[in-house]
Structure 1
C-alpha cells in the first residue's frame, strides 16, 4: 500500500511539474512570438505613415503624380525609388514597400519587386484595422520570395488630384516562429483576429478559417484551451489580435511514461537490494541468534553434548565461547553436586532409616554451606546460609518468642530465596521505632508474602510492603500489596471463613489457607484485638492490611508466655 501511495503521489506530482513546465515553455514561446509580431506591426504602421498623404514619402508621391512633363516624371520616379530603398536601410527586416494603382494593381515605382504582384496583396488575411491600415496576419511574401513569411499592411489613399493609390508594406518575421525552421521544436503557431478566427496556422489539424474560443480575454492576457487533441495557449496582444501556441496532448504523456519506466526499474532494483539485505542480515544475525537460543534451550534441559559452531563473526564467536564456558561450568557443577549427593547418600544411608530431626537438617545445611565455601561457590553458600536461617527460625530453633523486627528480617531472607527462583521486585518500607520490638506471632508475614508471590505477581511482577506506627490509632499498620489479577467475591468469602485444616475440598487449592491461618493465630495471640482486611478487585491486584495493637507490659508477658 505504501508503494502504491508513493506511486500515486509521484504520478500527480510529475504530472503537475510536467504540465507547469510545458505551460512555462509555451508562455515564453508565445511571448517571444508576440513581441516580434508587435514590433513588425509597429514598424509597418510607421512606414505606412511616412508613405501616407501627409508623410515624407507621400509628399514625394504627390509631386510625382502632379508632374506634367516627362523629365519631372522621371525625377519623381527616381526620388520615390530612392526614398523607398532608403527605408530598407533604416529597417533591415523590411522586405518591400510600394505604391500600387488601385484600379490596375500595377506598381507605381518600377523595378522594386521580384515578380508581378498584381492585386494579390488585397487577398491577404486581415487580423485588424488601425488608423485606416488593414493589418494582415503572417503569410508568404507577395513582393519577394514566397518562401519568406512576412507581416504586412495595406491602405488606400487619395493623392494629388484624386488619384486612388494603395500603399503596401511587408516586414519579415523570424522563421522559427512560422514553423519553417529546425528550431521550431514541438510547437505549432496560430494567429487569429480579434474575434478568434484563425488567419494563419501551420498546425496540421487546426486550419485557417476555424474559430477558437477567445471570449473573456483582455489585452495582455493568457488563456489555455484544448482543441482537436492539442493543448493551446492563447495570448491577446496589446493591439488586439491573438497569437497561439499549440502542443499535442501526448507530448507530456511521453515524459510521464518515460518516468514510469524509470520508477519501475528503481522499485525493482530497490526491492532486489532489500531482499539481498534481508538474506544477508538473516545470515549475519538471525542464524547466530537462533543457534544461541537453541544452545540455551539445550543447556536448560540438561543437554551438554553439543558444541558451538564458528560463524566467522567476532562478536558472535566470542558470545558462543562464553556460552561454552558457562555450559562447562554448569556441567561440572552438576556433576560435582551429583557426586556430592551420591557421597552423602552413601554415608548417610543408615541414618536415613531414622526420622530426620531438625538438628540433623541444620547440620547438613552447615556442611553444604562449608563445601560451597571451600569450592568458592559464594552464591550457593549465601543461598544455603539464608535457607538455614529461615529453617532455624521456622522450626523454632532460635527460640519461641519473636518480635516484629525479627519477623521482618526473616521475611527479607525468605524473599531473597524466592527471588532466585522468581524474577520479581519486592519493595519494603519500614518506619523505624520502638513498636518493632514488640512481641508478635511467629510466621506472621511469610504466608502472606508467599501468597502474593504465587498468585499476585501479574505482568508488573512487583510486591509492595509498608510497616509503620499509626500514632492516631496507637496501632502498628502492615500493608502488603501485589500486582496480580485480584480476587473474586467468592474467593474473598472463602478467605473470611474460619480456618480449617480440611482443605481437600477447596477449589482454589492452598491460596486462602495462609490468610486464614494468619487470621486465626492473630486472633488467638492478640485475643481479638487485631484486624486483618482484604481489599481486592478483579484485574487490579490485592491489598492485605493488618492492624496490631501496642502491647502493655502485662499483655506482653502474657503473649510471651503463649
Structure 2
C-alpha cells in the first residue's frame, strides 16, 4: 500500500514553472549585464589608455628614429663623411679646375644622400650669413628665420634639431623637422667663417610621424623642447605655442598621464631631451564607450523581450498540455471503455498521452484478469514483461524512431539512431567472445561518431593502420578497443579541441596498438585507481565497459603473452600501449 504524505508547503506546478521561467530570464541577464558593464568599463578604459600610451610610445620611437637617421645622414656631409671631406677640400683648394670637379661631386653626392634617405627633403650647405652654397632643392630666402617664436627642439652631440617648422623649400608650405650641424672650415682661407649642414624631413614623413588616425580617435599633439616650452601644438588656444605647461608640466613629471577638467594628457619623454604629449578631450574619450553602452542596453532590452517571449512559449508548451492531460485523466474511468485522451500535438506529451491510453487499457485488462483465475498466470506474464527489455524490443523501438525521423525529415536524428542501432547491435550480439579486427574497428568508429555528435564534434579521432593488418581477417577479443578510447574520452581529454589517435601496427607475430590523447594526463596514483575498480564510475558514463574488463579478457585469451601499459604525464596527455599475439597468419 502506498501512502501519500501531504504537507502545507506544497506549491503548484504553475507557480513553480512561472517562478523558474522568470528566474531563468532575469537572473542571467541581470548578472551578465552587471558583470559585463563593470568589466567592460574597466577593460575598455584600460584598453583605450593602453592603446593610446602604446601608440604614443610608437610615435616617440618613430620620431626618435627619424631624428637619429637624420643625424647619421648628416655625418656624411660633415668632416667624418666623404661629402664633407670634398666640401672641406673645396674651401681649401685654390685650383679652379679642382673646385669645379669638387662642386660637381658634392652636388652629385648631395642628391645621392637624398636618394638613399627617401624620408629627407631639403639638404644644403650654408654659411654663417645664411648664404646657401649647395642644395638639392630650390630654397627660399631667410629659411632659418623663426618669426619670433623658437622652434628649437633639442641639442644632442653637437647637432641642433628644430621643428616642427616651415620647410626651407621655396615652393612648399608645410611643416618639417630639421637638423643643423656645424662643419669645420679651413682656417687658412677664412678664419672667421663657419659653415653648416641643413637637412629636413619631407612632407610625407612629418604627416606619417604625427598622424592622428593611428590613435583610432580624435587627438591632438603637443611637442615640448628640452626646456619644457611648447614648439608645436594642435590646440593653440588651450596650449599656446611658445608657452610652458606650468602646472600640467609639473604634474606630468610625476607620471605619464594627467586628467584635467576637459582633457586627458599622456606624455612620453625622449632621451634626446624633447617630450611629446597627446591630448584627448573627455567627450571624445568617453564617446566610444557611451556608444557601446547604448548598444549594450539595447541588446539587453532586446534579450529580455526575446527571453520573455520564449518563456511565454515554453509556459504555454508545458503548462497548457499538462493542464489538458490532467483534465482528461480526471475524466477517465478505468472500469469503463471511455473515449481515448486527445493528443496535444507536442511529441513528448503525445507520447505521455499514448502511454496513458495504453495504461488505461492495461488497467482495464488487469481488472478482467483479476476476476478470472484462469488468466492469472497470463496476467503475471504481462506484468513481468513490463519490467523486461530484450534486444529485439530495443531494436524494434529504435527502428520505429528511425522511421518516424525519416518521415518527419529529421535526418540528424535518423543518422544518430542508425549509428546507435549498429553500436547496440554489436554490443548485444551474443555470437562468441572474439570478432574480426575490422568488425571491432567498425563498431569503434560508430561509437566515436555517436560521441562526436553528442559533444558537437569538439574532439577528433585519427586512425593509422598498417595495410597488411587492415586487409587481414585476424580475430581479437570483443570490446578491447572501445573501452580504451572511452577511457581517453572520459578520463583523459577535455572535449574542447581534444584529439585521440589510434595506431595499429604489426611487429613480427605481434600486433601493437597505441591509443594516445592530448588531454590533461594522469598521475601514477590516478592510473592505479583507474585500473583497480572503475565499474561504478563507468556505469554513469559511456557504455560502462571499463579497463578491468579489457585486462580480464586479455588474461583469459592470451594468459601471459600480452602487455598492457599506461603511461601519462600531467598536462601532456596519456598513452595506452597494447601488445597481443596475432591469432591468424597473414
TM-score (structure 1 length as normaliser): 0.48
Q: Which has the larger radius of gyration?
A: 1
TM-score normalised according to structure 2 size: 0.46
